[in-house]
């Protein structure tokens, strides 16, 4: 015998699903540079968490999917803050230009 016994070999560890990893990548990209990816990361992370709870995906992906969902939520909030900023200051600029035009 070569010193390894089949009973001492640990079972292979579950790996996170590709959807969990994809959601995480989209979440990071969505928060860092392309906020339009954030809602997709949020959706994919949520779907993956549901699949894990239903036993359709490996449980090893739960932390990854949770982080992806959180990043997706944060990026989506950032989208709305950016839109509000543009609308608010764009609206102020428009009103200021309108007031200066009539003066």
Per-residue pLDDT of the chain (103 residues; tens, 9 = 90+): 455 555 676 666 688 899 999 999 999 999 999 999 999 999 999 999 999 999 999 999 999 999 999 999 999 999 999 999 988 888 788 878 878 876 6
Domain locations in the chain as residue ranges:
16-102
For the packed helices 18-32 and 38-53, what is the interaxial angle rounded to 10 degrees? 150
- Secondary structure of residue 16 in the 3-state scheme: coil
pLDDT at 95: 78
pLDDT at 9: 66
């Amino acid at each position: 015998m070569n010193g390894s016994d089949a009973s001492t070999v640990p079972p292979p560890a579950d790996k996170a699903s590709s959807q969990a990893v994809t959601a995480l990548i989209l979440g990071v990209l969505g928060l860092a540079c392309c906020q339009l990816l954030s809602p997709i990361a949020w959706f994919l992370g949520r779907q993956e968490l549901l699949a894990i709870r239903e036993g359709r995906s490996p449980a090893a992906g739960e932390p990854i999917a949770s982080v992806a969902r959180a990043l997706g939520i944060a990026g989506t909030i950032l989208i709305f803050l950016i839109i509000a900023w543009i609308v608010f200051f764009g609206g102020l600029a428009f009103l200021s230009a309108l007031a200066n035009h009539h003066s």
